[in-house]
Amino acid sequence: MINAPRGTQDILSAQSKLWSLIEKTAEKVFAQAGFNEIRTPIFEDTNLFLRAVGEASDIVNKEMYTFLDKSERSLTLRPEGTAGVVRAFIENHLEHTGKPIKLWYRGPMFRYERPQTGRYRQFHQIGLEAIGSASPHIDLEVINSGMQLLDSLKLTNLTLYINSLGNKNSRTNYINALQQFLFAIKDKVCDDCKRRMEVNPLRCLDCKVEHDQNLYKQAPKIHEFYDEESKNIFEIIKSGLEKLSIKYHVDENLVRGLDYYDHCVFEIKCDSDVLGAQSTVLGGGRYDKLIEDLGGNPNPAVGFALGLERLALLIGENQLAEEKKTFIISDDSSEALLLAKKLRNELDLNVEFDYENSKFKKQLEKALKRNFDQVIFFLESERQAGTFGLKKLKSNQEFKELDFKRLCELLLE
Ligand code: HAM
């Protein structure tokens, strides 16, 4: 017996319904804010991720599914969606279609991580990217769209954390000061941080080792290094969030795991046991230099992505609205299909029937076992009389000799 690869999972029907609900809600919320859907390839040239996500990041270093194809090209299963969207933006000259370009996407991503609840090797993201504007008001639009989606899905216990990594100037000054601080305590921190302080010192700040975290409390703080521009932009975002009544916490250790960010970064976490250690549902931020770094014209941008599996765990299947299911009991499958087709078309109902011409009792048992709400009796006697029988299984009400119009009324009740 061959099992699914470690860190992947089958999404069976009940989960699938939940995922559809999430995707449909995202479609609606994002369309209302003028975002259009884009679909990009699941694998890309490996260099795209090396350059976009950053060679010093954990994703590039440890987590990419990279392979050579039959022509010896190095390809990588996408670990995230932003790099592909930016590549598509540049390659398809989308900037000429009017800026900002507002796009959203959904689909599988791949990271070779240690699987646990809420963390998989194949997982799914819904994300959006707004490209071509440096206005902090578009950061607010993006954050608001994320909040709006989570609100529409009736999620509670959520907290928005924000930070600003400042512009390149402020960040370079900060990183120098931070590196000096880190080098002075190098022999007291974990091996990962010893490496991080050389290649990407900011990443030390979100180290999960408690002992290291305590040492980093004394580290210089990024806000002390903001220049006027960085300060002003962050102030506009904070006051904008207040105006929108979106509560937030500033977390100066929030640096994100991808290297392309500047200015405002944000994460939404959920305080719920079902996610275990993986409490971050959504993460994103501004990335003003990425498009240029990937060979496009300078175009500032901002976006986020959320994890579909984590959202589904939080919502749970019990929040799904029950669909009304109808079963036709008949002694002629082809007549049953004809009636099912008519009812599906005219009443937009979920209608099933038996394909095997099974005995009446067996069909009734099947309908009960599979939790149908109502059963139509459509046997030869009914067909000859041109009438229908109906039983509402939940209330045990039974109706006989119905004409088609009355049947339809009762089916919808
Ligand atoms: P990220 O923080 O790496 O950001 O991922 C976004 C979300 O994807 C996470 O908050 C989490 O919900 C989900 N996620 C990440 N890894 C896993 C995993 N192994 N298993 C399950 N869920 C996972 C990005 O990917 C950026 N591209 C976001 C962005 C868009 N920034 C700007 N634009």
What are residue 71's phi and psi, to 5 degrees? -100, 20
Ligand 1 pocket at CB < 6 A: 80-82, 111, 113, 118-120, 123, 125, 127, 129, 257-258, 280-285, 287, 303-307, 309-310
Same structural domain, 19 and 136: yes
Q: How far is the CA of 282 from the centre of ligand 1 (A)?
A: 7
Q: How far is the CA of 287 from the centre of ligand 1 (A)?
A: 15
> Model pTM?
0.91
* 406 located within any domain: yes
Mean pLDDT by 10 residues, the chain (413 residues): 97 93 96 98 97 88 96 98 98 94 98 96 98 97 97 92 96 95 95 91 90 93 96 98 97 89 96 85 97 96 97 84 90 96 95 94 95 96 96 95 96 94
Report which protein residue has its CA nearest ligand 1's atom 22: 307
Same structural domain, 239 and 376: no
Same structural domain, 146 and 89: yes
What local confidence, expressed as pLDDT, does residue 318 receive? 66
Q: How far is the CA of 152 from the centre of ligand 1 (A)?
A: 20
Best residue among 110, 120, 123 to mutate for probing ligand 1, ranked by most atoms within 8 Å of CB: 123
- Considering its fold, how many domains does the chain have in total? 2
* 3 located within any domain: no
Same structural domain, 24 and 97: yes
Report which protein residue has its CA nearest ligand 1's atom 21: 119
* 100 located within any domain: yes
Look at residues 285, 318, 351 and tell me which one is the last residue of a structural domain: 318
Same structural domain, 268 and 408: no
Same structural domain, 116 and 265: yes
Same structural domain, 257 and 375: no
Q: How far is the CA of 363 from the centre of ligand 1 (A)?
A: 47
* 197 located within any domain: no
Report which protein residue has its CA nearest ligand 1's atom 25: 80
Same structural domain, 262 and 339: no
Same structural domain, 68 and 51: yes
Same structural domain, 235 and 333: no
Look at residues 318, 344, 372 and tell me which one is the last residue of a structural domain: 318
Same structural domain, 282 and 339: no
Domain range for 403: 325-412
* 172 located within any domain: no
Q: Which atom of ligand 1 is nearest to the CA of 115?
A: 19
Look at residues 302, 318, 334 and tell me which one is the last residue of a structural domain: 318
